[in-house]
């Protein structure tokens, strides 16, 4: 088994895909410091499962991913693939070539693969166990590991020796066995606790179980007796129901007869009303003619009255004119004297008005001057007042600022002193916390690497388990829901089928006829009406209300069949029934053309249901004259509009009967005669669909449980390993987080204190400046305020004086204007009076002639008007004659209409009597229906009790019911049984099953305890065997390594001696290992007294001694010879060649001696900053250029 190749991509300084191929012999990787050559050894460690970021020279696992440079972007993942030749099948893999790949994404996700197959980190560890490879093996040795071999404590050196001795896999198996033993002990403890708990429960549960069994026995007796009593009550209720149905049938027949009488009488009344309406129309026409004549006569009378009024007014005018003539001859002589007096008075008034107006103008001019001065003073006063208010406000603010600034400055000084002391203390704490955090961080990082692999595996199992358990829980809920739904559907179907078989809801007479028909004893019976029609759900209530008992009417082929059935019912005293022969019944249907536009109209009942066409006559006779309406308001309006000629039923079961009576209220529970068959089919179909779904879900549920059991077993095993690791990390993580949090809080406090100190200094400077400015401003504002107050006082006094003068002038001007107005009005009156007198004087001279001519004209007009009045009186007599003739015709028609109305009223009287009879019958039917409902309710309540209490249908209850010779004795016995049940007290019926389950579980757990104890003993035996074998192998291997160490030491050092000792030979598996060496010519008491090169050479000697005992397939040596001098480097390199036949070596070096012995050289350069490049160098070229070997 040799290493064939190493492929790196995105790992540390190797962003590009880089491949190193290895052959037999020694391969050297060389390059300057910082070129990235040691990243190759880190890559090998990492791909073999290294989880410690410290060992990989980083702080986080993501640090191994190439992080980018100035010229290159970061990559998204790191990947390393290691290919091993496995032709000898040293590794437990069938393939002759094994490739181990590890890949890490920047998101934190990682994956491991072996030959392309995804595996766990644990699988990688186990494959390399005891091969010397692996992250804890001795196949990868660096300078640090060399130093650890010598410098470590004796107990810490065991790891490399255990791997070399080949007991690692045994120790792993022992650790696993001990872990399983611990789990077995815990399980045993839990099982025994549960067993003890079950022992405490078995006894009480046994008592409860016996009590529950007694309870169930008494309950069964109680059930049988109660069911028998219920059946007895059902028979009694059924008999009462049959009696009410028979009475209703008789009443219904009477109601139908009266209804036919009303229909005939209504038709006769409608015909009489039609004749009376014709008379009324004729009378209305004649009255219209008479009204036109009356209007014509009224017009003639109006014209005469107007003409006679004109004559009267004209005579009045002639008399008035004559009086004017007599009066005006006397008044002319007085007019001249009056005109002279008016003109003298007018002149005096005008002079006075002129004087008053002059005085008023002078006063107004003075007032305007005062007003101007007053406005100027007002503006000045307002400006001063406003400025003074602003100044006073600013003064108050300045005083507050001065006081606040002084107080704040004092507080700031005290605060700065406190902050300075706090800052010094926090800085000291931060230095201490950083040191603690660095130490803790390194420890936690190392633990993180070890947990990562197992955590990923556990998370995968947890996710799978939670997903499957959620599905299982949902599946269980679905199973329970489906099972309950199926039971409910089947039980409801059984109940309805039982009702259907027993023709529940039908009268005894109907049952008898249908039974005879089904047995062939009575042919020609087609069935009850309810079974021959199909009613949409929307109209079920309306149809049941409209048909009521008619739903049980039996449809037969002809009258002969009906007669035979009636004879049988009569002979067997089986009650009464109504038969509807198809051959004779022909119903009629209302014309719904005029009704369809009425609000709320739904349709004629017979048109809204489905039926065979041969039953058309039957359906029309029952429903053809019944209208369905949306609601009662619309139904009443429709009935009123159509004179209550037909029955109207609303969709919720309210009725407006023909004739006007209303029937309604709460709707009686549906009998189910119309919908029961459909409900049964629907319930069976639903149950069948649910059962199919239940079978599918059950299969899925069982499969899920099996999956969960398998996944859970793997999950528990993996989680146990992870929990052990997490417990180790938990304490370290808590301490690290606490230190981190304390440091962050401390740093935050330092920042806050520093910031606050800075703000405090700035605030102090600002407040000092504000205080000085406030004092200066305060003095200036105070001086200005005093100046403004003095100015305000002077201006206010002057304003008061101006206000008094303005008031006096205003009062004087108002008095003058009132006086001018009065004198002006008097002057205008005098002027108008004089003008009127002058006009009268001028008009008197021509007035007398005009008045005489006017009297002559008026007399002629009066003569013309009298002639016109005579003409109108002649035409009026002709119109009066025509009006008398029309009045006679109206009288004759009125007599005829009164006769028709009298006849209609007599018919209405008859109708009222019949309606009263029908109403009485209707009330009786309603009363009987109520009694029937009561009887049906009693019956239904008993049926409901049977179902609610025992989930029994009537037929099932009848099957288990017994004879009840005496109801009283049965009830007494029932009371005794109830008393016994009560005496039992609280009963836990579940205790029967619980006792059974607990007993079984108790026995099962006893067997489990025995099995676990057996497993524990087996694990103890296995641990002892492994311990013995490990001790034996380690002792033998250690002796051989010790022997080889002495020989190699002498050979490398050129003399001296060396050996290894166990610190505790009594416990070789836990014993530390001490190293004792004596180089030639020296006496060494402690390894620390050796030089660095000597210590390294001692460690190399131990390493070579191990390889001689258990050669590793390949070894990667990372500058382990760096501390050696040139002579010892040559010895080291030459010894590698001696071991090269069994081990393949890859060395990372910069020492000439090692390079000289190499068979293949790889050079690592960093031509581009931060990016490593690999060059394969031919040994011949290197020797010629560097002068190796030949120099």
1037, part of any domain = no
Residue 916: count of CB within 10 angstroms of its CB: 11
- C-alpha span between 659 and 922 (Å, rounded): 12
* Contacts (Cβ under 8 Å, ≥6 apart) of 8: 14, 17, 18, 19, 20, 40, 43, 79, 80
The residue with tokens 């036949």 is: 1141
Q: For the domain that residue 585 is a member of, what is the CATH number?
A: 3.30.70.1620
| 302 belongs to an annotated ligand binding site | no
Last residue of a domain, one of 670, 698, 728: 670
pLDDT digits (tens, 9 = 90+) for 569-620: 888 888 899 999 999 998 888 888 888 889 999 999 999 999 999 999 999 9
Whether residue 92 is annotated as binding a ligand: the answer is: no
Q: In this structure, is residue 38 part of a structural domain?
A: yes
Residue 1168 resides in a domain = yes
CA distance 311 to 316: 9
Length of the chain: 1191
DSSP 158-195: HHHHHHHHT-HHHHHHHHHHHHHHHHHHHHHHHHHHHH
For 400-424, the DSSP string reads HHHHHHHHHHHHHHHHHHHHHHHHH
Query: Is 122 flagged in the annotation as binding?
Result: no
Q: What are phi and psi of 298, to 5 degrees?
A: -65, -35
Residue 942: is its pLDDT beyond 50? yes
Beta strand pairing call for 18-21 and 1114-1118: unpaired
Rounded to whole angstroms, how far apart are CA atoms 259 and 253? 10
Q: Average pLDDT of 961-969?
A: 82
How high is the pLDDT of residue 7? 94
Does the structure show a pLDDT above 80 at 1119?
yes
pLDDT of 628 higher than 90: yes
CA distances from 490 to 7, 484, 517, 684 (A): 70, 10, 30, 7
Q: Has 168 been labeled as part of a binding site? A: no
| Residues spanned by the domain of 89 | 1-139+1114-1191
Residue 715: inside a domain? no
The proportion of the chain whose per-residue pLDDT surpasses 90, expressed as a percent, equals 10
The CA distances from residue 945 to 227, 369, 620, 949, in Å, are 10, 111, 41, 6
866 carries a ligand binding annotation: no
Pairing of strands 579-581, 525-528: unpaired
Beta pairing class for 1114-1118 and 140-142: parallel
Q: How far apart are CA 718 and CA 458, in angstroms?
A: 6
Q: What angle do CA 1093, 1096, 1101 make, to 5 degrees?
A: 125
Q: What is the mean pLDDT of residues 485-499?
A: 80
Q: For position 38, what pLDDT does the model report?
A: 87
Q: 833 labelled as ligand-binding?
A: no
Domain boundary among the residues 670, 695, 719 is at 670
Please check if 41 is assigned to a binding site: no
Q: Does 34 belong to an annotated binding site?
A: yes
Which contacts qualify for 460-466: CB closer than 8 Å, 24 or more apart?
Answer: 461/711, 461/714, 461/715, 461/718, 461/719, 462/715, 464/711, 464/715, 465/708, 465/711, 465/712, 465/715
Q: What is the distance between the alpha carbons of residues 149 and 160, in angstroms, rounded to a whole number? A: 9
Residue 603, number of CB atoms within 10 A of its CB: 14
- What whole-number distance in Å separates Cα of residue 796 and Cα of residue 377? 8
Which pair of tokens denotes residue 873?
Answer: 């009186």
Query: Between residues 206 and 154, which one has the greater pLDDT?
Result: 206
Structural domain ending residue among the three candidates 670, 694, 709: 670
Q: How many structural domains comprise the chain?
A: 2
Residue 80 belongs to some domain of the structure: yes
Longest dimension (CA), the chain: 189
**pLDDT of 402 strictly over 70:** no
CA distances from 79 to 71, 114, 327, 1004 (A): 22, 13, 146, 52
Domain membership flag for residue 655:
yes
Residue 1149 near residue 1118 (C-beta atoms within 8 A):
no
Residues 1048 and 1055 sit within 8 Å (Cβ to Cβ): no
Residue 53: give its domain's CATH number.
3.40.50.300
Cα dihedral 836→841→847→848 (10° resolution) = 140
Cα distance between residue 354 and residue 363, in whole Å:
15
Mean pLDDT of the chain: 80
Instruction: Return the beta strands (E) in 565-606 as ranges.
Output: 579-581, 601-604
Residue 204 belongs to a domain: no
Q: What is the pLDDT of residue 1191?
A: 41
17 alpha-carbon distance from chain centroid: 51
What is the model's pTM?
0.39
Lowest mean pLDDT across 231-245, 450-464, 503-517, 686-700: 450-464
Is there a domain that residue 145 lies in?
A: no
Helices (H), 129-167: 143-151, 158-165
Q: In the beta sheet, which residues pair with residue 1144?
A: 1114
Q: Categorize the per-residue pLDDT at 229 as very low, low, confident or very high, splitting at 50, 70 and 90.
A: confident
204-215 average pLDDT score: 82
Helix (H, G, I), strand (E, B) or coil at 84: strand
């Amino acid at each position: 088994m040799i290493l064939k190749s190493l492929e790196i991509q995105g790992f540390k300084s190797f962003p590009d895909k880089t491949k190193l191929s290895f052959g037999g012999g020694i391969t050297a990787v060389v390059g300057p410091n910082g070129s990235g050559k040691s990243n190759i050894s880190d890559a090998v460690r990492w791909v073999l499962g290294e989880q410690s970021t410290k060992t990989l020279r980083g702080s986080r696992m993501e640090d191994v991913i190439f992080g980018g440079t100035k010229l290159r972007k970061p990559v998204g993942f790191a990947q390393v693939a290691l290919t091993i030749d496995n032709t000898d099948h040293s590794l437990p893999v069938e393939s002759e070539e094994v490739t181990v790949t590890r890949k890490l994404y920047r998101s934190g996700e990682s994956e491991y693969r072996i030959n392309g197959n995804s595996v766990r980190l644990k699988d990688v560890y186990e494959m390399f166990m005891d091969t010397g490879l692996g992250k804890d093996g001795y196949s990868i040795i660096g300078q640090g590991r060399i130093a650890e071999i010598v410098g470590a404590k004796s107990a810490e050196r065991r790891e490399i020796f255990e791997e070399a001795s080949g007991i690692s896999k045994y120790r792993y198996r022992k650790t696993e066995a001990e872990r399983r033993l611990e789990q077995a002990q815990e399980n045993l403890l839990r099982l025994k606790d549960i067993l003890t708990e079950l022992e405490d429960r078995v006894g009480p549960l046994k008592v409860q179980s016996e009590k529950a069994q007694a309870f169930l026995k008494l309950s069964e007796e109680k059930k049988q007796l109660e069911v028998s009593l219920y059946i007895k009550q059902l028979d009694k209720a059924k008999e009462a129901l049959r009696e009410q149905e028979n009475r209703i049938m008789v009443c219904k027949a009477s109601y139908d007869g009266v209804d036919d009488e009303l229909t005939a009488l209504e038709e006769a009344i409608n015909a009489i009303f039609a004749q009376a309406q014709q008379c009324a129309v004729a009378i209305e026409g004649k009255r219209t003619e008479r009204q036109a004549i009356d209007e014509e006569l009224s017009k003639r009378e109006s014209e005469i009255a107007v003409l006679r009024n004109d004559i009267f007014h004209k005579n009045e005018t002639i008399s008035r004119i004559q009086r004017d003539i007599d009066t005006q001859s006397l008044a002319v002589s007085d007019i001249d004297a009056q005109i002279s007096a008016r003109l003298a008075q007018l002149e005096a008034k005008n002079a006075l008005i002129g004087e008053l107006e002059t005085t008023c103008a002078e006063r107004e001019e003075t007032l305007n001057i005062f007003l101007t001065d007053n406005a100027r003073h007002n503006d000045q006063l307002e400006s001063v007042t406003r400025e003074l208010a602003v100044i006073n406000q600013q003064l108050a603010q300045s005083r507050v600022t001065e006081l606040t600034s002084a107080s704040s400055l004092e507080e700031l000084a005290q605060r700065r002193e406190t902050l300075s002391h706090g800052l010094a203390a926090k800085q000291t704490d931060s230095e201490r916390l950083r040191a603690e955090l660095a130490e803790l961080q390194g420890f936690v990082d190392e633990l993180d690497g070890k947990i990562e692999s197992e955590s990923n595996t556990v998370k995968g199992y947890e996710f799978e388990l939670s997903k499957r358990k959620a599905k299982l829980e949902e599946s269980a809920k679905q199973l329970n829901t489906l099972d309950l739904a199926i039971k409910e559907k089947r039980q409801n179907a059984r109940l309805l089928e039982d009702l259907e078989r027993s023709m529940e809801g039908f009268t005894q007479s109907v049952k008898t006829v249908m039974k005879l028909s089904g047995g062939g004893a009575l042919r020609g019976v087609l069935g009850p009406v309810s079974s021959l029609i199909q009613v949409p759900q929307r109209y079920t209530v309306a149809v049941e209300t409209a048909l009521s008992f008619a739903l049980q009417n039996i449809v037969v082929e002809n009258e002969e069949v009906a007669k035979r059935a009636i004879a049988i019912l009569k002979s067997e005293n089986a009650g009464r029934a109504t038969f509807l022969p198809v051959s004779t019944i022909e119903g009629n249907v209302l014309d719904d053309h005029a009704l369809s536009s009425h609000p709320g109209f739904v349709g004629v009942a017979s048109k809204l249901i489905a039926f065979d066409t041969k039953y058309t006559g039957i359906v029309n006779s029952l429903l053809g004259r019944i209208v369905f309406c949306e609601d009662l308001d619309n139904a009443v309006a429709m009935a009123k509009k159509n004179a209550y000629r037909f029955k109207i039923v609303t969709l919720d079961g309210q009725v407006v009967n023909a004739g006007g009576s209303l029937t309604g209220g709460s709707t009686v529970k549906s009998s189910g005669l119309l919908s029961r068959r459909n409900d049964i089919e629907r319930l069976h179909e639903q149950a069948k669909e649910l059962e199919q779904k239940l079978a599918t879900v059950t299969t899925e549920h069982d499969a899920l449980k099996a999956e969960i059991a398998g996944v859970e077993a793997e999950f528990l095993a993996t989680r146990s390993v992870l929990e052990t690791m997490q417990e180790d990390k938990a304490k370290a993580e808590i301490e690290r987080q606490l230190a981190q949090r304390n440091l962050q809080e401390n740093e935050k406090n330092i920042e806050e204190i520093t910031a606050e100190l800075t703000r405090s200094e700035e605030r102090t400077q600002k407040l000092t400046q504000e205080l000085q400015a406030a004092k200066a401003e305060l003095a200036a504002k105070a001086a200005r305020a005093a100046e403004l107050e003095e100015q305000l006082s002077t201006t206010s006094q002057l304003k008061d004086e101006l206000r008094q003068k303005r008031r006096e002038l205003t009062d004087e001007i108002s008095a003058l204007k009132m006086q001018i107005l009065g004198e002006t009005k008097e002057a205008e009156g005098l002027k108008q009076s004089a003008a009127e007198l002058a006009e009268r004087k001028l008009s008197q001279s021509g007035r007398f002639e005009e008045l005489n001519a006017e009297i002559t004209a008026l007399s002629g007009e009066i003569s013309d008007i009298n002639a016109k009045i005579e003409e109108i009186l002649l035409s009026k007599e002709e119109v009066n004659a025509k009006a008398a003739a029309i009045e006679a015709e109206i009288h004759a028609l009125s007599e005829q209409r009164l006769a028709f109305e009298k006849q209609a009223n007599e018919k209405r009287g008859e109708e009222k009597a019949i309606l009263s009879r029908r109403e009485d019958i209707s009330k009786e039917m309603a009363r009987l229906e109520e009694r029937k409902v009561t009887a049906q309710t009693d019956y239904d309540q008993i049926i409901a009790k049977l179902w609610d209490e025992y989930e029994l249908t009537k037929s099932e209850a009848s099957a288990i019911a017994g004879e009840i010779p005496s109801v009283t004795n049965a009830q007494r016995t029932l009371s005794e049984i109830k008393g016994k049940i009560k005496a039992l007290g609280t009963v836990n019926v579940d205790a029967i099953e619980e006792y059974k389950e607990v007993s079984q579980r108790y026995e099962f757990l006893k067997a489990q305890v025995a099995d676990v104890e057996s497993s524990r003993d087996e694990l103890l035996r296995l641990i002892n065997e492994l311990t013995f074998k490990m001790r034996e192998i380690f002792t033998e291997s250690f002796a051989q390594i010790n022997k080889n160490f002495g020989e190699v030491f002498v050979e490398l050092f050129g003399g001296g001696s060396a050996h290894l000792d166990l610190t505790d030979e009594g416990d070789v598996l836990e014993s530390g290992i001490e190293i004792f060496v004596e180089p030639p010519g020296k006496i060494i008491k402690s390894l620390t007294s050796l030089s660095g090169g000597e210590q390294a050479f001692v460690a190399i000697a131990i390493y070579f001694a191990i390889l001689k005992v258990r050669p590793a397939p390949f070894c990667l040596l990372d500058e382990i010879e760096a501390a050696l001098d040139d002579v010892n480097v040559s010895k080291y390199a030459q010894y590698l060649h001696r071991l090269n036949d069994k081990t393949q070596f890859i060395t990372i070096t910069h020492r000439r001696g090692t390079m000289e012995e190499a068979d293949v050289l790889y050079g690592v350069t960093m031509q581009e900053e931060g990016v490593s490049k690999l060059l394969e160098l031919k040994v011949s070229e290197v020797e010629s250029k560097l002068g190796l070997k030949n120099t």
